[in-house]
């Protein structure tokens, strides 16, 4: 906050209009990202996407709308080819051919990693701590090198996904009864970061936390461990992390002020309907999960998108560096009666006819 010292004023002083506050602007490097990790599986099912009713290539639609970055997750040894390094590298070739950047989300697990699940890869289950550190370095190095070897320069690499309680449990677990374990967590993260920078010094590294509550505690411990990283990544889903955008902005202001790092909303989404398009239960399905100002309609989703960009735009020092919409393409591609289909089809940026929604246009171009 700036405090101005007062000064005397006389009747001969000219009348001066109060200054007009500067209009906040987006960082010129603002990331408009989409996590398209499901895309190889969805396209393999011959799913088609549309813009204004016309069938078009999914990546071309995203690029035409102004999207500049694609986020891809990687699992260590998944049960099938999906989310493998090989699949991500192959898809990344197409992404970069479209002129889009690639942001890699390494989960350091064979499956989903999130605040409640951070399982070691099965192949690492019985490793001692020293060997585990070396395994992280070697695996991260190989993974980044796999992209580099085909000419892909990764824009961002996450060292873990939603690591609120650490990762690689229990050796890298923190919080609760593991709150004395920060040294172990830090040592493991540092090996991942070191591997990224050794292979590609220009690639930025991110540490990812889900939500705002607890983020100051988490990044304060990161700071105390002297972990050198580039970006704070936050997940923000109103139905899980709070419906007060002012409170979210205040929390991000605190993080920027204390830790001097740009912030990217690494995951978000919002529904365009509370309906469903297959027989798979959806994550969001009731009005109680909504921000009251934004209803579950295409217009409400669009307004939420603009509000989120405005929030990032108004963070101090243009340190709101981007937003990534999670699974905007995870439509009901397995058919209308699938019970193992999408839990997310009403949170995508495509309607139930797979036609691009207004929020995708705003997300890619709104200033």
The residue annotated as part of the active site, out of 162, 191, 329, 345, is: 162
Phi, psi (rounded to 5 degrees) for 265: -75, 100
Q: Euclidean distance between the first and final Cα of the chain, in Å?
A: 25
Rounded-to-integer distance, Cα 130 and Cα 116, Å: 25
Rounded-to-integer distance, Cα 2 and Cα 236, Å: 30
Query: Is 267 known to be catalytic?
Result: yes
Query: Is 191 known to be catalytic?
Result: no
The residue annotated as part of the active site, out of 41, 87, 90, 267, is: 267
Within 10 angstroms of residue 175's Cβ, the number of other Cβ atoms is: 17
Residue 105 three-state SS: strand
Paired with 73 in beta bridges are 105
DSSP annotation of 271: -
Q: Which residue has the tokens 């919409």?
A: 325
Residue 350 three-state SS: strand
Integer-rounded Cα radius of gyration of the chain: 22
Rounded-to-integer distance, Cα 317 and Cα 299, Å: 30
Question: Which residues are known catalytic residues?
Answer: 162, 267
């Amino acid at each position: 906050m700036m405090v101005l010292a007062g000064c005397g004023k006389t009747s001969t002083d000219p009348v001066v209009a109060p200054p007009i506050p500067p209009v906040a602007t987006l960082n010129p490097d603002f990331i408009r990202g989409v996590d398209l990790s499901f895309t190889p599986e969805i396209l393999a099912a011959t799913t088609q996407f549309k813009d204004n009713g016309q069938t078009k290539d999914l990546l071309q639609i995203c690029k035409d709308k102004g999207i500049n970055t694609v986020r891809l997750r990687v699992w260590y040894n998944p049960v099938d080819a999906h989310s493998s390094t090989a699949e991500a590298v192959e898809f990344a070739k197409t992404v970069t051919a479209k002129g889009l950047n690639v942001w890699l989300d390494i989960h350091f697990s064979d499956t989903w990693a999130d605040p409640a699940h951070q399982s070691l890869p099965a192949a690492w289950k019985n490793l001692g701590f020293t060997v585990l550190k070396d395994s992280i370095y070697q695996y991260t190095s190989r993974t980044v090198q796999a992209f580099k070897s085909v000419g892909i320069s990764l824009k961002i690499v996450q060292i873990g996904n939603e690591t609120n309680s650490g990762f690689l449990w229990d050796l890298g677990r923190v919080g609760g009864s593991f709150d004395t374990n920060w040294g172990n967590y830090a040592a493991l993260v540092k090996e991942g970061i070191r591997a990224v920078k050794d292979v590609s010094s220009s690639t930025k590294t991110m540490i990812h936390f889900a939500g705002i509550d607890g983020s100051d505690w988490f990044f304060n411990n990161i700071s105390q461990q002297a972990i050198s990283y580039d970006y704070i990544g936050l997940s923000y889903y109103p139905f899980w992390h709070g419906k007060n955008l002012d409170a979210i902005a205040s929390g991000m202001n605190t993080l920027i002020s204390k830790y001097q790092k740009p912030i990217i909303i690494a995951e978000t989404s919002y529904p365009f309907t509370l309906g469903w398009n297959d027989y798979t239960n959806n994550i969001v399905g009731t009005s109680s999960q909504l921000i009251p100002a934004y209803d579950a309609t295409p217009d409400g989703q669009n307004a939420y998108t603009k509000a989120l960009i405005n929030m990032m735009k108004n963070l101090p020092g243009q340190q709101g560096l981007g937003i990534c919409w999670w699974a905007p393409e995870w439509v009901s591609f397995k058919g209308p009666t699938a019970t193992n289909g999408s839990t997310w089809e009403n949170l995508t940026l495509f309607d139930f006819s797979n036609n691009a929604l207004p929020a995708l246009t705003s997300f890619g171009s709104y200033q």
